[in-house]
Structure 1
Amino acid sequence: MITYLLKSTACLALLLFFYHLVLEKEKMHSFNRFYLLVGVIASFLIPLATITTYEKIQVEPITNEVAQTFSNPIFTDNSVNIIQENPINYTQIAIYIYSFISLVLLFRFGFNLFKIIRKTRTYKTIGHQKAKLVLVDDKILPHTFWNYIFINKDDYENKKIEQELFTHELTHVTQKHTLDVLLIEFLQAIFWINPLFIFIKKAIQLNHEFLADDTVINQYKNTFQYQHLLLNKATWNNEYYLASNLNYSLTKKRLTMMTTQSSPTKILLKKLAVIPLLAGFIFLFAERVEAQEKQEIKEEPIEEIVEDVSFKKEDFYKSEIYKEYFYQNIFITSKDKNGKK
């Protein structure tokens, strides 16, 4: 089990390293979303794969001649009084501690999910295209969970929310980004001991923002104005756990991505590079099993050897050599016409 966890962690670390080094810099955010999700699942499955190698071994035949030797048994009294102690099972204790922490994290995950659902039923909701606007009293920026967009009630009624912000949040709704967040949060609660899930979660959420930003820029064609809008909203508070928010990780990396121009050929080559990467990880982290193929050396009976030669057994029995051997100790008596022997 420990070997499996180490292989899974190493595989996830290399996948994440390849993402930050090669894929994240290009404008292929939909592919990167797929890569990150599949990479997490692949890190669990690749160590379970097996590569079987075959090795031929020669096995000597078992003869019917068995030499048996018997001797009178000798009985000795070696009885010793053994005092049994119950050692402490540290492995079982570690499993209990690990399971307890996982249950606590799962409870926190479920409680935060319950709080968001409760807000959708507590406050007024309004239909807006493919989403539902939840008008809350909190002074917040728009946040998205599933098909709900949480916005400040006063800002909505006074029409202080820019259309770019609505487009940004609608992208989270239509592309179902909440599914990715819920999946990674659940896995992080189970495999909390693996610190890489913190980084993979940040990479997934940042890629969601890349996707939403790209949609806004393509629709409104004003990158500078949108960047200025985000910078003005950067200091707003976010209290909605599990929800996608506008000012998540508003760093230089995110602002630079808005003006990045990517070559289609370069993007295609980087996508194709993922195939040998996954194949190499399978070869590196898969379990190797050596299967021995037995090659038995057979001893043919004498009768089979006789059948293999150029003549048959019947011809052998009729031969002069066999007759001389068969009749060598026989005496023949006969009588003449006069009755004499």
Structure 2
Amino acid sequence: MVQYVIQTIAFQLFFLMVYDFLLKKETFFNWNRAYLLGTALLSLLIPLIKIERFKYVVSQEYIISLPEIFLGNTKQQEPDVIVLDPVIILPKTFWSWELMFFLGALIAMMLLSFKFLKVYKLLLKNPKKKVGNLHIINLLKSNVAFSFFKYIFLGELINENEKKAILKHEMVHVKQYHSLDLLFFEVLRILFWFNPLVYMYQNRIGELHEFLADAQAVKTENKNTYYQNLLSQVFDTKKISFINPFFKQSLIKKRIVMLQKSKSKQINLLKYALLIPLVFGMLIYTSCAQEQVKNSTEQLSISEQIETLKASLDAKEGQLTDEEKSSLLELLKNVNFSKSESNPWKISVVQNEVNEDIDVPFAVIEQVPVFPGCEGLSNNNDRKACMSKEISMFVNENFNTKIAKEHNLTGKQRINVIFKINKAGNVVALQARAPHPALEVEAIRVISSLPKMIPGKQKGKLVNVPYSLPIIFQVADEKSDTNKG
């Protein structure tokens, strides 16, 4: 989540810099409107897009990675177990990041509701009339002018000659659905209340709406008269961020400057083409970026292992004798290959054992054990992901974080847990390693209390399946907590 927010803010910053330095002064108002709305949406979507082909834009020739080799029947059986995603246990403080986020979003939502209430009160308290599809609200004892969707609010104190020009201006806002743009950014302000760039986006789109409406209004009005209307009366409009006010002091000068500006040359439209390489570069970045905590391993099937070695042997055609090839292929029966993001290849040479109660590794198992609630998923990868999520939630809810204070533990504590889901669906053969024995005991207690699962199957028979689970316990810094208090 944190990585997503950081990427979103970074992309919005790039997009706004391009707008301010290259596009803002152009008179392509509709193009600029599409740019602001489109890039605001793209900044939210691009971090979620992962294109596999873009992962290999950087040539593998520049990546040197030596394999890890485990010989014999070693206790460390990473390739033969299902490695669950790490469980991160953060200190349970009242002012957690999640609570701050939801509290900020709640306040932002309340503010938006208050703005809606102000507009609704104006609708109730003032006389109104319908002209076609428009609703004209006559604001009593007011010199305010603004619009909101199909409602145009005009103060009764505004000069009748000026009302005509103002009405044409506000009708542009209505016809082009400018209120919809502003509400889109209001929603973003609720979800990303902590992000100042969202407010900057809304400010830019608000300015642009006025330029668009002015450009349309002066087509049927005398420019000099229109300028006088803008300058003669600078009223205090209601400060509501999702309305389109006609009189706004901070915008009057900019609107007049933009009205006097000559139309931009068509060749300047090429500036918008800059968006293509910009988005392309962002997609490459998000596709290549590795998740901070993810350390899952994708195992190859036996047939893929054989094909991999055969391809390697074919590449060495003429360098190996037939006898050497046969020996290598025979050796393959006792070799496990696996791939991971952090290490392209891991090789494990395992000794053959004769054991009636076989532990089936993830590389070959047909059906992994299923956590309660994950039964509807159709393939092993989805079931594994579901189990990781459920176990992570279970450990976070049940792990006794008071252990840290009881044993004066500080900093990051890593606990490695190994267990099996047996033929009955129960957790067995639990082992844990941690910097302190109390953490090992607590980890075993929590994992042993996992609910009964649907056991794994291989060739229609129930089997044992081994798992490895890293738990990272981030102990709260008492000194910093004391300072905060």
**What TM-score results when the alignment is normalised by the length of structure 1?**
0.72
Distance between the aligned counterparts of 1:68 and 1:170, measured in 2?
A: 79
Q: Hey, what's the Cα distance between the residues in 2 that align with 1:250 and 1:27?
A: 16
Quick one: distance in 2 between partners of 1:282 and 1:137? Answer: 53
Counterparts in 2 of 1:286 and 1:231: CA distance versus 1, 3 Å? farther
Q: How many residues are paired up?
A: 280
Report the equivalent of 1:115.
Answer: 118
**Equivalent residue runs for 1:40-51 within 5 Å:** 40-51=40-51
TM-superposed deviation, 1:265: 2.6
Q: 2:105 aligns with which of 92, 102, 124?
A: 102
User: Given that residues 171 and 212 in structure 1 are in contact (C-alpha distance below 8 angstroms), is that contact kept between their aligned partners in structure 2?
Assistant: yes
Q: Is the alpha carbon distance of 1:170 and 1:8 closer, same or farther for their aligned partners in structure 2, counting shifts above 3 Å? A: same
Amino acid at match of 2:273: L
The corresponding residue for 1:296 is: 308
Match of 2:375 in 1: none
Between the aligned partners of 2:5 and 2:101, the Cα distance in structure 1 is 14
Conserved in 1, the CA contact under 8 Å of 2:236 and 2:247? Answer: no
1:142 is the counterpart of 2:145: yes
Give the Å deviation of 1:25.
Answer: 0.9
1:138 and 1:292, CA in 2 relative to 1: closer, same or farther beyond 3 A?
A: farther
Contact 2:146 2:246 in 1 (8 A): yes
Query: 1:218 and 1:273, CA in 2 relative to 1: closer, same or farther beyond 3 A?
Result: farther
1:147 deviates by: 0.6
Rounded to whole Å, the distance in 2 between the matches of 1:68 and 1:3 is: 39
Shift of 1:33: 0.8
What residue number does 2:34 align with? 34
Q: Any idea what SS the aligned residue of 2:193 has?
A: coil
* SS class of match (1:275): helix
Offset at residue 227 of structure 1 (A): 1.6
Matched-pair contact (CA < 8 Å) for 1:123–1:134: yes
Q: Any unmatched runs of 5+ in structure 1?
A: 61-65, 70-85, 306-341
CA drift at 1:91: 8.9
1:2–1:138 CA distance, 2 compared to 1 (3 A)? farther
Aligned runs of 1:128-277 on 2, under 5 Å?
128-153=131-156, 155=158, 159-220=160-221, 222-234=222-234, 236-239=235-238, 241=240, 242-248=242-248, 249-277=250-278
The CA distance in 2 between the partners of 1:145 and 1:68, in whole Å, is: 73
Question: Does the 8 A contact of 1:47 with 1:285 survive in 2?
Answer: yes
Q: Judging changes above 3 Å, is the alpha-carbon distance between structure 1 residues 51 and 142 closer, same or farther for their aligned structure 2 residues?
A: same
> For 1:51-77, what per-residue CA distance to the aligned partner results, in whole angstroms no more than 9, with x for missing partners?
43356999x9xxxxx9779xxxxxxxx
Distance 1:67 1:270 in 2: 62
Q: 1:39 is matched by which residue type in structure 2?
A: T
RMSD (Å) for aligned C-alpha atoms = 3.4
The alignment partner of 2:262 has SS state of coil
For the Cα contact (< 8 Å) 1:142–1:152, is it kept in 2? yes
Specify whether residues 49 and 287 from structure 1 end up closer, same or farther in structure 2 by C-alpha distance, changes over 3 A only.
farther
Change (3 A) 1:184 1:68: closer
Q: Given that residues 207 and 251 in structure 2 are in contact (C-alpha distance below 8 angstroms), is that contact kept between their aligned partners in structure 1?
A: no
What does the per-residue CA deviation read over 1:130-167, in whole Å, with 9 as the maximum and x for residues that have no partner?
42101121413321011101112354xx7354321111
Following the alignment from structure 2 to structure 1, what is the Cα–Cα distance between the partners of residues 45 and 123?
37
- Give distance in 2, aligned partners of 1:170 and 1:286: 44
1:201-256 CA-partner distances (Å, limit 9, x unpaired): 11000000000110112222x3232122101122x111251321012332533221
TM-score, length-scaled by structure 2: 0.52
Looking at structure 1, the residues matched to 180 and 268 of structure 2 have their Cα atoms a distance apart, in angstroms, of 26
Change (3 A) 1:301 1:121: farther
* Deviations, residues 22-56 of structure 1 (Å, cap 9, x unaligned): 11111111111111111111111111221433569
Moved more, 196-205 or 249-258: 249-258
CA 1:228–1:285 in structure 2 vs 1: closer, same or farther (change >3 Å)?
A: farther
Of structures 1 and 2, the larger Rg is shown by 1
Partner AA of 1:237 in structure 2: D
> In structure 1, what is the Cα distance between the partners aligned to 2:7 and 2:132?
45
Residue pairs, 1:299-314, within 5 angstroms = none
- Residue-by-residue CA offset, 1:278-324 (whole Å, 9 max, x unaligned): 2233234445469999662249997x97xxxxxxxxxxxxxxxxxxx
Distance 1:287 1:187, change over 3 A: farther
Judge conservation of contact 2:105–2:193 (CA < 8 Å) in 1: yes
Which 10-residue stretch deviates more, 134-143 or 176-185? 134-143
Aligned to 2:329: none
Judge conservation of contact 2:230–2:252 (CA < 8 Å) in 1. Answer: no
Partner SS, residue 25 of structure 2: coil
Partner AA of 1:194 in structure 2: N
SS in 1 for 2:220: helix
2:98 partner letter:
I
Identity of aligned residues (%): 27
**Distance (whole Å) between structure 1 residues aligned to residue 299 and residue 130 of structure 2:** 66
Partner Cα separation in structure 2 for residue 266 and residue 182 of structure 1: 33
> Which of the pair has the greater relative contact order for Cα pairs under 8 Å at 6+ separation?
1
In the TM superposition, residue 7 of structure 1 has moved relative to its aligned partner by 1.1
Aligned equivalents of 2:19 and 2:156: distance in 1?
A: 39
